[in-house]
């Protein structure tokens, strides 16, 4: 199994509440259990992620998702969290200098050895995701202590076994035809999650019910154990990967 401890102090930089849980919740939880410093940074409160207006009204959704993320991170054991305070869906309108200034202050404070974020494609083609990835790279380029950046990526196995079907049902890759794929064997980090960690990850996702309710209505525990058995990443220094582009 990959040695999570080798990542040292970890900073996860993502766009919306639940991004961190879906992509690397297991790794973050394992790092916390190791005694490593783990910091999560979220650019927006995800107020545009409306799923059911009657249950989660749009005018309350930002606060709802803020509260959900607080509970989710508590389950994962992550105690350090920061909001950038940007509007959901508008990160591409924020100047890089403004966002990077905020992130640089946090990087200077925590001195991360590792940064986890989206790849250049944003995984789903979402412009907020792509902005988070770009900002993370800019922070590292100007840092006195450059961290290693690892991009979340879908493995070929994961996509063909599970997420392709999920995309057809829930449109999870809403702004991209197909995500960038790399086989597990060629990922720089291929982490097989222990059963107890999968349970924490699933509980963390369940805490963010305004976004995940339909998924839990559709699937049973065995499905979750299979879908979240692995978390995969590639080093940002890799030049052999052709990143997908968004549809619009």
pLDDT 10s digits, 180-205: 999 999 999 999 999 999 999 999 99
Pair 20, 132: CB distance under 8 Å: no
> pLDDT band for position 106 (50/70/90)?
very high
> Coil, strand, or helix at residue 52?
coil
Whole-model pTM: value is 0.96
| pLDDT > 80? residue 102 | yes
Q: Could you tell me if residue 146 is left (phi over 0), alpha (psi between -120 and 50 degrees) or otherwise beta? A: beta
Contact partners, residue 115, CB within 8 Å, separation at least 6:
10, 11, 12, 13, 136, 139, 140, 147, 148, 149, 150
Per-residue pLDDT of 107-149, as tens digits, reads 999 999 999 999 999 999 999 999 999 999 999 999 888 899 9
Q: How many CA atoms lie within 13 A of 31 on its CB side?
A: 28
Tokens of 10: 């970890």
pLDDT band per the 50, 70, 90 thresholds, residue 169: confident
The mean of the pLDDT values for the chain is 94
Cα–Cα distance measured from residue 61 to residue 210, given in angstroms and rounded to the nearest whole number: 8
- For the chain, list the domains and their CATH numbers: 4-235 (3.40.50.10320)
């Amino acid at each position: 199994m990959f040695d999570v401890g080798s990542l040292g102090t970890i900073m996860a930089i993502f766009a919306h509440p639940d991004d961190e849980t879906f992509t690397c919740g297991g790794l973050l939880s394992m790092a916390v259990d190791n005694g490593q410093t783990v910091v999560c940074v979220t650019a927006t409160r995800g107020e545009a992620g409306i799923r059911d207006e009657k249950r989660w009204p749009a005018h309350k959704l930002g606060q709802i998702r803020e509260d959900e993320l607080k509970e989710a991170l508590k389950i994962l054991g992550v105690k350090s969290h920061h909001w950038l305070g940007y509007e959901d869906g508008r990160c591409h309108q924020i100047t890089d200098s403004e966002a990077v200034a905020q992130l640089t202050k946090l990087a200077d404070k925590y001195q991360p050895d590792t940064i986890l974020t989206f790849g250049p494609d944003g995984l789903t083609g979402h412009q907020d995701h792509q902005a988070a990835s770009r900002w993370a790279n800019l922070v590292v380029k100007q840092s006195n202590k450059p961290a290693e950046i690892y991009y979340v990526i879908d493995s070929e196995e994961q996509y063909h076994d599970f997420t392709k079907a999920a995309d057809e049902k829930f449109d999870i890759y809403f702004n991209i035809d197909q995500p960038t794929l790399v086989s597990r064997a060629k990922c720089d980090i291929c982490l097989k999650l222990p059963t107890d960690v999968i349970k924490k990850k699933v509980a963390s996702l369940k805490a963010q019910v305004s976004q995940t309710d339909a998924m839990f209505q559709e699937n049973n525990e065995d499905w979750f154990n299979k879908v979240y058995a692995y978390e995969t990443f590639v080093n940002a220094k890799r030049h052999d990967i052709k990143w997908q582009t968004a549809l619009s």
